[in-house]
Amino acid sequence: MVRLVFLGKFGDLAPPSLAQVALPREVKTLADLKSWIGRAEPGLGRAMENTPARLVLNQCVALDLSHAVSDGDEVAFLPPMSGG
């Protein structure tokens, strides 16, 4: 099982069923995961396509989406933040 955390507007769009998932065999990397989520939840997928998201794998920002995803991992999806 992989724990998925969606913050900001992604959290508004993600259903509770995506909080903890067993990944299909074809999902091996962060890029695969992002693609799979887009197919499973088209509204969330569109939001992630239209808004650059940072992915955080086990509390480390992933600059390369070719990182492997494994059972027990936590992946967070962060939209850009603004503030002042």
List pLDDT tens digits, range 12-38.
999 999 999 999 999 999 999 999 999
Give the number of other Cβ atoms within 10 Å of residue 10's Cβ.
21
Q: What integer pLDDT is reported at residue 40 of this predicted model?
A: 95
Q: What integer pLDDT is reported at residue 75 of this predicted model?
A: 98
The answer to whether residue 44 sits within a structural domain is: yes
**Over pLDDT 90: what percentage of the chain?**
87
Domain count, the chain: 1
Q: What integer pLDDT is reported at residue 11 of this predicted model?
A: 94
The answer to whether residue 18 sits within a structural domain is: yes
Instruction: Give me 45's structure tokens.
Output: 């997928």
Q: What integer pLDDT is reported at residue 71 of this predicted model?
A: 95
pLDDT per position as a tens digit, 39-52: 999 999 999 999 88
Question: What is the extent of the structural domain holding 26?
Answer: 2-78
The answer to whether residue 43 sits within a structural domain is: yes
